[in-house]
Structures are given as C-alpha cells and as structure tokens.
Structure 1
Amino acid sequence: MPAYEKLTVYYFSGTGNSRNVSSWLSDIAVESKIESRLIDIARIDRLSIEKPDPGSLIAFVSPIHGFNYPPVMLRFIMRFPKGKNRVLLMNTRAGMLVGKYITPGLTGIAFYLSALVLRLKGYSIKAMFPVDMPSNWISVHPGLNQRTIRYLHEKNEERVAAFARRVLSGKSDFRSLREILQDAVASPIAFFYYFCGRFVFARTYYASGDCNECGVCIEGCPVKAIIRLDKRPYWTFKCESCMKCMGNCPKKAIETAHGFIIGFMVFFSSVVLVLFYGYFESFFFKIETAAVRFVLETLLMLALLGVWYRLVHFFMRFRFIERIMVYTSLTKYKFWGRRYKALKPDIRQVKRNAVR
C-alpha cells in the first residue's frame, strides 16, 4: 500500500530534462495508484502560489545552473506557502558519458539552500536526489551526440523509477549527502554565478542573419527574458541560460558569442580597469580592500557589458559585423554546436498529469 495518496510535482525545464524526470516520477506514482499532478512553474502565476493539498507529497525538480537551482526556482521556493507536507528535492545536472561510465554533475548548494528555506516554512524533507541528465550547455562545451543522449535517458529513467518506488513507499533517500564535500568546494562558484556569472552569460546570446523573425524564442522563453529590438531577438539580464531558445530555433540562428565575450573581457581588464583605477586613485584614494575592489569591478563590468551588448546588437544590421560575430562563435561549427532537446516521454502521460 502506498504511503501517500497524492503527488504534486513542481518543475522548471528549458530543454526538457527536468520535464522528463518529473514525468518519470509521475508515471511511477500512477502505477502505484497515487494521484499525480505535474505543474510547470513557468506556466503559472509565481507571485500568487496556490497552497498544496495538506496530504500531498511535494516534489521540486529543476536543472542546476552554476551549482545551484536557477533564480526562477529559488524565488518560487522562497514564495512557496508555509505547510507541513513532505518534500522531495530533485535536480538535473550536467551528465556526460565516458565509455559506458556516466560522469556525474555537481549539485552545489541547491539542495542545502532549498531544504533550509522549506524547513523554515514547516516542511519535512524526505529525499534529495540528483539526476545526471545530458548536459545541454553548449555555450561552454560541445553538444552531446545522440547515442550519449539516448544512453543517459535510458539509465536515468531506470534510476528515477527505482528512486520513486522507494520514496513513494514511505522511505527516505539522502544518499546525495555523500557528495557534500564536492558540493562545498563548488559553493563559492555558486555565489559568484548567482551575483555575476549568470548576467554575463545572458549577454552572450544573439540571433544571426539566418533569423527569420518567427518569434519562437520570444514566445517560448519561460522567464520572458527575450524581447524584440531592431527587428531582432534581444536577450536581457533576466535570461536564465536554460538553452530552450537555442534548442527550439527552427533556423538554428541563435548562437553564443564566444569571440564577443572574450574581446570584451580583454578590453575590460587591459584598458577599462587600468584607466578606472588610474583616474580614481588620482582624484580620490587607493582602494586596498579586495572585497570592495571585487564589487566595484563586477558592477562596472556588468554596466559596460550591457552597453557593449547593445552597441553590437545595433551594429549587427551590417553584414560585415554580423559575419564576424557568427564566425567567432563556436556554436556555429558542427563539431561544437549540436543543439539539444531532451527525448520526449509518453506525451499522453504528460498531458494527462500536467497543469498548463
């Protein structure tokens, strides 16, 4: 007899990894005669969250971005109503394949921060379970081949099914705590990514001249971070780097501007910072504290990056500039730029359980 009567899964997904994990979890719940409900948090009002049924087991499923849950999921958990429900925390994190060995990603602070917030709200954490789904972040590594993607899906579906049967029968699962040491090592990067890195990545995406202005990226963005500017998609600082736009673009026109960001960083570090500190220290005082210098440099970098990105966006109307951007983007090339979409689960099951 199952330990729960209902399961409510809240998930955020860009290219489909977390959606698939949520669907697999839901499938086992239905198989166990447990009423299941999938809720895509990108499709609901995240400012006014409906309180879950008091008897429902709750699951939060999200990708890992910069060794943490992405801001959209973190804010959702922060705003989640108080309750006494039991909670499962799950994530999908940069899985790779070496031979037949699945190299695991890192959870970082995602589970620990979320568990703390939910415990303070009255919830009881019953499990923390990472899933090494295929990495989709082709901004930083070459895209995975289809054999790797299929293998990772098959193995992870088996793992999620086994996990689901354990926890739905009332058991706990905290084996992820074995990774606490490497998660702790990654924690400084998680904070840096949250306060700086994600904004830098947000300004590396652009649409090449192949863009036909179909608007798929703008309409499909789960956090509404893409706008239309000068008849071209324009990525704002709200971008979560979920890669949905890049994976769904029918023309494969969306690229990551590797040359652009490298050029900006070289210019910023070798010219802007030298001039800034030279003039500042001449007219005011020398900044000795490393923390103060770091904050100032970060704020200055993000401000100038916003201006730099806007200028390049404007000048990309000229073919010469657009071609420079394209051919200095690694995602343009076949060896790197394989777009990623998670394999689709049984779509009937997703539609049956999903809340739009």
Structure 2
Amino acid sequence: MMAWGVQRKFEVIERVEANDDKLTTVSVMSMRRITDDQCKQLLTALKGNTHVKDFSISRAFNDDLLRGFADMLAENATLTTLSPGNSSLGDAGFAALLNGIVASKSLQSLNMEHRGLTPESASAIRACFFQSHLRHLNLASNTLTGALAAALSQRQENGGAARVSGLEELNLSSTSLTAHDGRALAAAISAGHLPSLTTLDLSNNAMLGAAACDVLRAAAASSHVTTLDLSSTGMGGSGGGGGVDSDDVSGVGAALLDAFSSPNSQLKVLKLESCGLTRAALSPLTAARLESPARLAVFSLAANDGVKDVDLVHIVTKVVHAECLDLGQCGLSPGQAAAIIQALPASTRKCRLFGNAIIDTSDDDVNALLDATCAHLEDLDLGGYGLSQE
C-alpha cells in the first residue's frame, strides 16, 4: 500500500511507527506541507520500520534533518529505494547523506535527479559507485562536468584494495559530461570496474562527441551492458567541445561496426537519436556485410536527418536486425520508407516512421507503403496512420 503526500500526515507517521505491514511506500510530495518536527518524527519512525521499502520526500532539509536522515539510513534494514530532497539539496546535502547511504545494506536504488549537484560531488559519486550497495543510481539533470572522470580515477578504499562497483543501472542523462568523462567511463567498463552494469543512459550530453564511440565499443565488448542510450551526444559531429572531427566522422560508423561485430556483445537496446549522423558517418556500415547480423530488441536512429542519404535497407538487413526499428524524423521519402518496410527481416516486428512527412503526401504514396508492409510486421507507425496486425 502507498501513502502519498501528508494530507493525513499524523496517520502516516503513526502507521510507520506501528510498523504497519500494509504500508510499503511513503511519498511526501512537495506540494504538501510537512513541518521540520513532523519530518524528524517520520525519519525517527523509519529507523526501526521493517515494511517500508520505497521512500521519497521532496523538500528542503536543514543540517539537523540531514543528520537524522543519514542516521535513519544507517539503521533501517529494509528500505531499498530512496528519492531524497529537491533541487536545493546540493553538494553539501548529498555529502551529509553519504555516510547513511554507504552504511545501508538494504538500499539498492538512489534517485538524485535534478538535485543541484556540481563537480564538487565527485567524491560522493565515487562512494556511491564503489563503497555502497547501490544497484541503481540516477544522477540525471545535474551539472557534473569532470565529476565522472574524477569519481572513476580514484576508487581506492582507505588503505585497502581497489573495489569494483555493483551498479547495474546508471543514468547520467543531461549532466554536461565532456569527452574526458566519456573516455574515463569507457576505460572503467573495459577494465572491469563496473562488471554488473547492464543499463547506461548518457543521452543529452552533447560534449561527449567522439568519446561516445569509445563508450559504445567498451559496452559492446563488455558482455554485460544490454541497454545503451547515446542520443544527443554529438557523436556524429554536431556536438560542442568534444564533437567528432569533421575529417573523422566515419569513426562513428567504425565504432558501430565494431559493436555489431563483437562476439561478446550483449547489447539489446541501442539508441542513437539526434546524434547528427550523416552518410559519411555511417559509410562503414553501408559497405559491411556481416555473416551474422547483430540482433537487437530496439535500434533507434530517430531524428537524424542525415540518414536519409544512407543505404538504410542494407544496414537493417545485412548489418543489424532489430525487433523494433525506429527511423522517425529522419527525412525519409515515401519511396525510401516503402523500400525499407519491404526489406525488413522476419525478426522485425515494429517499425516507427513517424515524422517523415509521409502522411502529407498523396493517398497513392500511403497506399504504396501499405502494400509494402511485411506480413510479419505487427506494428507500423506512419504518424497519422497507426497500423497494427490486430
């Protein structure tokens, strides 16, 4: 059972104190009012509670409450998911909670999205990586330029041996990462410092540039990363700072070819949306013919207008087979879309072509697309025409 807000705040605190076995989730929303004293009572009650597993509270904390929060985390043995504070938490608040986060043996998921963090949180991030029991860490929408590289560069315990991370899911979307951060992450994956990592989101970090290719290669070679989002990372040359050199844009295609050819690859979901990919960038793929095409659950090249000039039929038939193929907003013509649909392999069940101005053409063009639809395709998204085998 879930208790939302604090509209019945006294009852919620009483139920937490009573260790009500039906109360497993407590969420204190920012639009509700809870006093410092009530917050302190709630944190104290959670110390000995053995049924609440998911706790989120969106409010500012003074130093006393931060200490109480850390103490609660250190003593509670049941809490698995935590979302503390709001954008005012900042580096100091994160640091104040750190001892509790590291001490907790039950905490598996920590949401620090949009918490006002800066590169000053590098040490706290390192501790979450290598000293906690966390499996899921969300750091999205914080300004962490250089922090990731710093966190990964020093992973020694005090006076002890270097540790590996138990993280399985890491969200670094929209964190202003640079190429230096990307290369450090790729090196950490390759060196086996993140051996449990399965899901990695680096989207909306335009300064990663060519380093996103390094991460792609490392992830594909790792034998454990299954989901990778490199959307809007500038890997096609459109990013700032660490963007791909215009004379070496084919490095993107080479990295993709290496990833698709890797015998160790466990990648199932690969998103490369809004990466500024072009014909030159993908040229290694159009020249490749793999004996056994890579198989993905999801492959997205959406919002890359430059791929309209690429031999996509070759790529989606000879290089990579995807159960769900997303080519939305790629500037495709009705003829190109029809050719792709007709050529799709039997393993492709869903195809997204939304945003390609296909429905703004004549009915004859739409009919041609429908005629080209493969019998094995279960869902075809043409924008205004949503089709299903049902």
Computing the radius of gyration over CA atoms, which structure comes out larger, 1 or 2?
2
Do these two structures clear the TM 0.5 threshold for a shared fold by scoring above it? no
- Which TM-score applies when normalising by structure 1? 0.24
More helix by share: 1
- Which TM-score applies when normalising by structure 2? 0.22
